[in-house]
Amino acid sequence: MGDVSHTSQSPLPSSGRVDVAARLRDALLGASFTVDGLLDLLGAPAYAALARSETVPALRATRGDTPLETLVRLFLLQQPVPHARVADVLPVEDCVEAGWLARVGGDEVAASVDIRPYGGSDGQDWFIVSDLGCAVGGAGGIGSRDEGVVLGVGGASTTLAGITVRTPVESALDLGTGSGIQALHAAQHATRVTATDLNPRALHITALTLALSGAPAADLREGSLFEPVADETYDLIVSNPPFVISPGARLTYRDGGMGGDDLCRTLVQQAGARLRDGGHAQFLANWQHVEGEDWQDRLRSWVPRGCDAWIVQREVQDVTQYAELWLRDAGDHRVDPAEYQARYDAWLDEFEARKVKSVGFGWITLRRTAAAQPSITVEEWPHSVEQPLGEAVRAHFERVDYLRAHDDAALLAGHFTLVAEVVQEQVGLPGAEDPEHVVLRQNRGMRRATKVDTVGAGFAGVCDGTLSAGRILDAIAQLVGEDPVLLRDRTPAQIRLLVEQGFIEPVG
């Protein structure tokens, strides 16, 4: 990577001066320029306002001259600061020489990039580098200024980081790395990390993010989709791609440049051949809901051969809501009204031509398998979940393996335990002798809820690993006066559902 900008944005710091990045990191940590330090200084309301690109509360909270206030004004608020004040906190001359700072207005210095503290895994203090004014994706209409900007950490970034399986692996690929947040996470549990991006500026900023966070350097490669890695294979592939379904490719950071949802489809279909046995590929994606077509069938058709898949639709927007969201993301609502209307029309023309009635957003996880019949689960779950979910994703596929290997007879011979923090709710009319139905609800992970009959509820309630499923059903049959053979015949489907959704788990 070179040390200059590849777009009209300001020049970037040198990615080769790791020594300066290390000294800068030490100075930032020494001044408590961390997530906790900012919360203490600014207070929760001002800190939250920064995530909305609103700076006035933070400006009011940093009127003093402490080292932390100086750093906040310099790197988060992009305010020029007197050279002498910065010299008390940072190795200012080295930072100017390496390009982290620039001299302005005679005796002042200003930041050349945004540096934002980020709470990493296991409580580590990391720093995410992005272009000035771009730490928060779209909130300020940044897209209208420069198509090559590199954004910091947004909600999509943290969602993907939270759902990613974090088992130790030999190799990981971050496709479309942006500011490098996924590569930074992967570096904590992967021996080798490769990061790609179509935008060379993003690769440069990823190198800065890794260096400033004290993480190992990644193998950085420029190019689109899987082109930079050819036929290399990985244990983990992650991507927060430019998934927005838009007319054209005006904004590099969000618009895929292919028609409709073709970019997401291509990414998913091509990932299978790049996964090693047992490896995971995890993506955020948008997909079209087309008139006369089942959206779940559309997504099933994306899954490559030899892969299990778990696809979760988290949100659906009609085409007008979707167009307005992304027009505002780019700041188009602030331009000439006639131009805004023309762009809005172009979005709706595109959707009308493709017979798209709405757009779904969610998560796609693939796992390479040697099973003769791969498992594909496509579901809608718009309810709240508990992040991080990486362990829940890993456990989902472990349960898939278990159920695939156990027929009903083997299931009845198995021993199970009720998962922690599952509660039972009984639903019915007040005063009724028996409930209309029973609901089991998880308080962790996906926080699922499922209806069961009284046998299913009773079965789950006594699962402590001691008795086999068959023995438990025999005891229940005796209690309710039912034929145990008939109960054994009709209950495995309910047991299978409880295992599949993570309410009970097999012992051993």
Output 138 or 245, whichever has higher pLDDT. Answer: 245
Looking at the predicted structure, is the pLDDT value of residue 165 above 90? Answer: yes
Burial of 168 (0-12, 13-18, 19+ CB in 10 A): exposed
Burial of 216 (0-12, 13-18, 19+ CB in 10 A): middle
pLDDT band at 149 (very low <50, low <70, confident <90, very high): confident
Q: Measure the CA–CA gap between 201 and 3, rounded to whole angstroms.
A: 10
485 half-sphere exposure, CB direction, 13 A CA radius = 0
Q: Measure the CA–CA gap between 236 and 185, rounded to whole angstroms.
A: 12
pLDDT band at 9 (very low <50, low <70, confident <90, very high): low
pLDDT in tens, 20-65: 999 999 999 999 999 999 999 999 999 999 888 889 999 999 999 9
Share of the chain above pLDDT 90, in %: 84
Q: What is the residue whose two structure tokens read 């990823």?
A: 206
pLDDT band at 2 (very low <50, low <70, confident <90, very high): very low
Looking at every residue in the chain, the average pLDDT score rounds to 93
Question: Cα dihedral sign for 402, 405, 409, 410?
Answer: negative
- Per-residue pLDDT at 143: 43
- Per-residue pLDDT at 186: 98
Looking at the predicted structure, is the pLDDT value of residue 139 above 50? Answer: no
Looking at the predicted structure, is the pLDDT value of residue 78 above 50? Answer: yes
Rg (CA), the chain: 26
Output 219 or 121, whichever has higher pLDDT. Answer: 219
For residue 298, give the nearest of 393, 378, 369, 372 by alpha carbon.
378
For residue 145, give the nearest of 379, 339, 332, 287 by alpha carbon.
332
Q: Which residues contact 484 (CB under 8 A, 6 or more apart)?
A: 473, 474, 477, 478
pLDDT in tens, 350-386: 999 999 999 999 999 999 999 999 999 999 999 999 9
Phi, psi of 473 (to 5 degrees): -65, -35
AA identity, residue 179: S
Looking at the predicted structure, is the pLDDT value of residue 332 above 90? Answer: no
pLDDT in tens, 445-481: 999 999 999 899 999 999 999 999 999 999 999 999 9
Phi, psi of 39 (to 5 degrees): -60, -40
Looking at the predicted structure, is the pLDDT value of residue 393 above 80? Answer: yes
- Per-residue pLDDT at 334: 83
Whether 438 contacts 424, CB under 8 Å: yes
Looking at the predicted structure, is the pLDDT value of residue 3 above 80? Answer: no
Query: Within 10 Å of residue 434's Cβ, how many Cβ atoms?
Result: 9
Q: Which residues contact 137 (CB under 8 A, 6 or more apart)?
A: 151, 152, 154, 155, 156, 157, 253, 329
Share of the chain above pLDDT 70, in %: 95
- Per-residue pLDDT at 144: 43
Looking at the predicted structure, is the pLDDT value of residue 388 above 90? Answer: yes
pLDDT band at 136 (very low <50, low <70, confident <90, very high): low
- Per-residue pLDDT at 427: 85
- Per-residue pLDDT at 360: 98
Query: Within 10 Å of residue 329's Cβ, how many Cβ atoms?
Result: 21
Quick one: how far is CA 359 from the chain centroid?
Answer: 18
- Per-residue pLDDT at 146: 58
pLDDT in tens, 216-269: 999 999 999 999 999 999 999 999 998 999 987 677 778 777 888 999 999 999
